């Protein structure tokens, strides 16, 4: 099995559907709690926070580079890459 990120709600929906089809109403009542108790492997808020911190560092480096006569294009590219990465994480990578 892969470590793909999945929606907890989608997992709950599938589990409930199967349990209800099988008449396991007692188990179906606890299904959301079981799925909700699973540990997360990805925290969207923490990921965005770390990306923002790195973006802010790259932006500060870009500003300093300009003061020393460097055009800073590489650093501006880093800032833009962090902006793109934050946007992808924010939307969940789903088209």
pLDDT tens for 3-27 read: 667 788 888 999 999 888 888 888 8
Number of Cβ within a 10 Å radius of residue 1: 3
Model pTM?
0.60
Mean pLDDT, residues 71-88 taken together: 89
User: How high does pLDDT run on average in the chain?
Assistant: 85
Residue 51 has pLDDT above 90, yes or no: yes
For residue 31, give every residue at least 6 positions away whose Cβ sits within 8 Å of its Cβ, in sequence order, or none.
Answer: 12, 15, 16, 19
């Amino acid at each position: 099995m892969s470590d793909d990120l999945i929606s907890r709600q989608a997992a709950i929906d599938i589990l409930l559907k199967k349990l209800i089809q099988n008449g396991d109403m007692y188990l179906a009542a606890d299904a959301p709690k079981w799925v909700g108790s699973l540990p997360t492997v990805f925290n969207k808020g923490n990921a965005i926070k770390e990306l923002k911190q790195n973006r802010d560092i790259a932006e500060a480096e870009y500003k300093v580079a300009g003061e020393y006569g460097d055009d800073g294009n590489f650093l501006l590219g880093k800032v833009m890459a962090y902006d793109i990465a934050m946007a992808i994480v924010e939307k969940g990578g789903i088209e």
